Amino acid sequence: MFDKVDESTVITKDVSTDTGWERLRLMFTFDEDISPELNSAMHAGLTGIFFGALYGGFVKSRLAYIDFFERNQATAFRSHVEAKKVLQDHVTINFAKGALYWGWRLGLFTSSLVLISTAVSIYRGKSGILEYTVAGCVSGCLFRANLGVRGMLVGGLLGSALGTIGGCVIFAILKASGFTMEDIRNTQYQWRKHRTETKQKWMKAATEKETVENELLKHHDAKLESPALPGSEPELDSN
């Protein structure tokens, strides 16, 4: 009923023995789940979408609120309720516009930043500030690609600066906590291995339980289908 999880698909070996391309291949290898590195990039993107939507929605709705009163000072509404409804609709629509405008942009920027920095670090086999600078530059260029070469250049420079600052902050926090990025990735791998082993145990227990239930059902059906012994016929009601 259940497919056995192949333990060979769990990435647990020492990546220091592989080449950069082999480590990248492992990073983009799919079994039942995506790799911890891709999972981190996905979570970063979702977090960026969430905070980008909050920021964009708040800023856009606030500007819409102020703009509504400036443009409708001389507008005659039929009632106070109608004015409040029009204001609420105007603010809500602009909140959605701002959330959409900033949500996907910040989500794309953060996910690409984390994905590229992780890929560079995996390829190099070590962690440093360089991958954050490179990731910030590439992400900034992509973020401003619609503005042409000049926009991409400005976006790349700003992204490099932000990536470098972010990398310095991250490594300062890691240094203060006594951990390294490799420790964090190893913890992710160990957690994934533990989750896979737990899933295997659950699937094995479920399979054994189903087997026992099937045997009991077969035994019960066999007893029902077997002929009755002499003298064991049920007595008929005389009434």
Residue 200 reports pLDDT greater than 80: no
Q: What is the pLDDT of residues 102-112, one digit of tens each?
A: 999 889 888 88
Residue, of 146 and 239, whose pLDDT is higher: 146
Handedness of CA 198, 46, 30, 20 (dihedral sign): negative
Residue, of 218 and 235, whose pLDDT is higher: 218
The conformation of residue 73, written as its DSSP 8-state character, comes to T
Q: Which residues of 90-103 are buried (b: 16+ CB within 10 A; e: fewer)?
A: bbeebbbebbebbb
**pTM assigned to the model:** 0.64
Tell me what pLDDT residue 145 has.
81
81 contacts: CB under 8 Å, gap ≥ 6: none
Residue 111 CB-half CA count within 13 A: 17
Residue 216 reports pLDDT greater than 80: no
Tell me what pLDDT residue 227 has.
58
Quick one: three-class SS letters along 196-212?
HHHHHHHHHHHHHHHHH
Percent of the chain with pLDDT over 70: 82
Residue, of 134 and 196, whose pLDDT is higher: 134
- Characterise 14 by phi-psi region: left (phi > 0), alpha (psi -120 to 50), beta (else): beta
Q: What is the pLDDT of residues 169-180, one digit of tens each?
A: 888 888 888 877
For residues 141-162, give the mean pLDDT.
Answer: 87
Residue 118 reports pLDDT greater than 80: yes
Rounded Cα gap, residues 66 and 61, in angstroms: 9
How many residues are present in the chain? 239
Q: What is the pLDDT of residues 79-109, one digit of tens each?
A: 778 778 888 888 999 999 999 999 998 898 8
Neighbours of 123 (CB within 10 A): 16
